[in-house]
Amino acid sequence: MSLVSVAGDHTPMGHVALVGAGPGDPELLTLRAVRLIECADAIVYDRLVPPAALAWARKGAALIYAGKQRSRHTLLQDDICRLLVRLAREGKRVVRLKGGDPLIFGRGGEEIEALAASAVPFEIVPGITAASGVAAYAGIPLTHRDHAQACVFVTGHLKDGTMDLDWEMLARPRQTVVVYMGLLGLAVLCRELIAHGLPRSTPAAIIEQGTLPDQRAIVATLSTLAARASRQAIKSPALLIVGTVVRLQRSLAWFSPERTALAAAAGS
Ligand code: SAH
């Protein structure tokens, strides 16, 4: 197979599957994700993809790391789009593997736009997004008839040091707010939600490495969470959940890696 596709040659067009790898626990990959990984010629994967997901790759598959650094996003995003198009034009079956769901704060939309513009056939395999996976493993129901009839997913990614969010909407009662990439701006997030009307005592949790053996959850309130997270040196990836549903964690927390391992062993 030629390495470079030249216009007019007869290399058949390949295919790209944009695949979600779930929030961390490799058992949360879908069957379809595993099947596509198994037969891929090339897997282009991100930083938050569980390493165990790559274990299904066949021998000889090209594993290409496309992890992004905060400060170099734009340039690298274009490179990734170009890489996907090039690999497909070389006739490869490509898996573009992303953490969580590929279309939720994952820039998957931009990548499939580039594929569509280049007439590269593609498919999308949804994954369990951090909000549902991490909340479930933390024992926090994102909606609950007694607490929240709505749930909002928002990115707390800082733009020029400020967060351009619709604070009035986020501070509404009877909803759960889930903030992706909110660790850096945690203090600002909590402060603004209070300033826009949420009680200081609103339950809020930050969960680090959710669904993974090292999962840590800090459950506090809007007025205390930022200080506690910084005292306990919470690191990325971490998800912020705000709303009275967080209170349920006290009685519903169930995940402990040892217990899950025991259950798996008992079932095998
Ligand atoms: N497409 C992904 C999100 C990518 S943005 C999805 O659907 O989940 C990356 C952010 O997701 C992180 O900064 C963090 O806020 C959140 N995240 C992803 N995995 C996580 C995990 N295992 N534990 C806690 N937060 C996680």
Local confidence band at 164 (pLDDT 50, 70, 90 cut-offs): confident
Q: Which of 215, 210, 201 is nearest to 246 (CA)?
A: 201
Q: How many angstroms does the Cα of residue 199 sit away from the middle of ligand 1?
A: 26
Residue where the block lists tokens 């967060």: 163
Q: How many angstroms does the Cα of residue 179 sit away from the middle of ligand 1?
A: 9
Looking at the predicted structure, is the pLDDT value of residue 74 above 90?
no
Reported in sequence order, the residue ranges of 51-187 that DSSP labels E, i.e. its strands, are 62-65, 93-98, 122-125, 150-155, 175-180
d(CA 37, CA 44) in angstroms, rounded, equals: 10
Best residue among 46, 110, 180, 211 to mutate for probing ligand 1, ranked by most atoms within 8 Å of CB: 180
Q: Is 87 in the pocket of ligand 1 (CB under 6 A)?
A: no
For residue 259, the tally of other CB atoms under 10 A from its CB is: 10
d(CA 29, CA 187) in angstroms, rounded, equals: 33
- 86-112 mean pLDDT: 95
- 154-170 mean pLDDT: 84
Q: Is 238 in the pocket of ligand 1 (CB under 6 A)?
A: yes
**High-pLDDT (> 90) share of the chain, %:** 82
d(CA 166, CA 31) in angstroms, rounded, equals: 37
d(CA 54, CA 36) in angstroms, rounded, equals: 11
pLDDT at 55: 95
3-class DSSP assignment, residue 17: strand
Local confidence band at 249 (pLDDT 50, 70, 90 cut-offs): very high
Q: How many angstroms does the Cα of residue 130 sit away from the middle of ligand 1?
A: 5
pTM here is 0.91
- What backbone phi and psi angles, to 5 degrees, belong to 151? -140, 130
Active site residues: 46, 68
| Nearest atom within ligand 1 for CA of residue 24 | 22
Cis omega (within 30 of 0) for bond into 237: yes
Looking at the predicted structure, is the pLDDT value of residue 194 above 50?
yes
Looking at the predicted structure, is the pLDDT value of residue 174 above 90?
yes
Enumerate the H helices of 200-256 as residue ranges. Answer: 225-231, 249-252
Q: How many angstroms does the Cα of residue 115 sit away from the middle of ligand 1?
A: 24
